[in-house]
Amino acid sequence: MDAELTRIRKSYSRMGMAYLVFFITATLSQLAVMAGLAGIRDSLGEGLYTLLGLLSMYPAAFPLCWLIVRTVPKRGPSWQFAAGGKRFAAIFVISLGAMLTGNLIGQILMMVVSVLTRQPMINDVQQLILEMEPWSILIAAVIVAPILEELLFRKFLLDRVACYGQLTAVLMSGVLFALAHGNFYQFFYAFALGVIFAYVYLRTGRIRYTILLHMMVNFSGSIVPVLLLRYMEQNQILGSLLVLGWYVILFAAVVGGIVLLIVGRRQIWFYRMPRRVPAGRWIMTVCVNAGVLLFVAYSVLSFIML
């Protein structure tokens, strides 16, 4: 058993190291590209400059991450259950509700921190989205990010560690995905979404479902608010009514998500894997290893710096 736990620990460590390499490389690439483009920033325009900076994270970092990930034996899910239209719609409502609830928790937490530290509460991510053009948000946040993030945090990870315990793998996917966002504002809703998307991938074995869910959630949380706020600047009365209507829809998503979770709670289950980590050993095996610890340390440092 100890030899098996050592193999599992090494698998999780390599995955943690892969994500560490990804984000260090992505950060350095982004800094280099944005510094290189600084001289022609005005001619590019703010929208294109920001977009190129965001996209520069992936060309070098993604292949390097994959080179490490592929050293971990792939033991992907063998189950193939189609989501179905009604079930997919229900999952989307749950995901949207989870995003809103987690975002509210993050906002409240940062408000408390702001009061205690007497420092202004600045949400850099929200500010960046509001300053970007809708077309650049569409490319970066609604198309590119969901595809690559679902490959990174769902397919790459779950195909290699879910065989050691599905619930553990789902929680790890949520934690790593949340830490990767690098700030408290996004941590809670990213964790909730990461868990939901990981479960969907395990149940269906199809990454396209989680990519589409991710795209829909990001579209709802970025494009729609930006378009509504900009329209309100042109037509304050009608724009205000549309914003109010959107808030009603979001509130309904939160309530609907809670109801759907309660009603469908008995349908949430995990396969009992033959090679799973024993309950009393999973922290030392899954979390206390070089790769995961280094990734967590890097993420905490990012949280502090931001």
> Tell me: the pLDDT tens digits for 210-241?
999 999 999 998 899 888 888 888 888 888 89
What pLDDT, on a 0 to 100 scale, did the predictor assign at position 306? 63
Percent pLDDT > 70 in the chain is 94
> Tell me: the pLDDT tens digits for 277-299?
777 777 888 888 999 999 999 98
**Domain extents in the chain:** 2-305
Backbone angles phi, psi at 122, to 5 degrees: -120, 120
Cα–Cα dist 304/80, whole Å? 41
> Tell me: the pLDDT tens digits for 51-90?
898 899 999 999 999 999 999 988 755 566 667 788 899 9
Amino acid at 160: R
> Tell me: the pLDDT tens digits for 92-148?
999 999 999 998 888 888 888 778 877 776 766 777 777 778 888 899 999 999 999
**pTM of the predicted model, to two decimals?**
0.92
Q: Is the dihedral of CA 288, 16, 295, 150 positive or negative?
A: negative
Percent pLDDT > 90 in the chain is 45
What pLDDT, on a 0 to 100 scale, did the predictor assign at position 176? 93
What pLDDT, on a 0 to 100 scale, did the predictor assign at position 46? 81
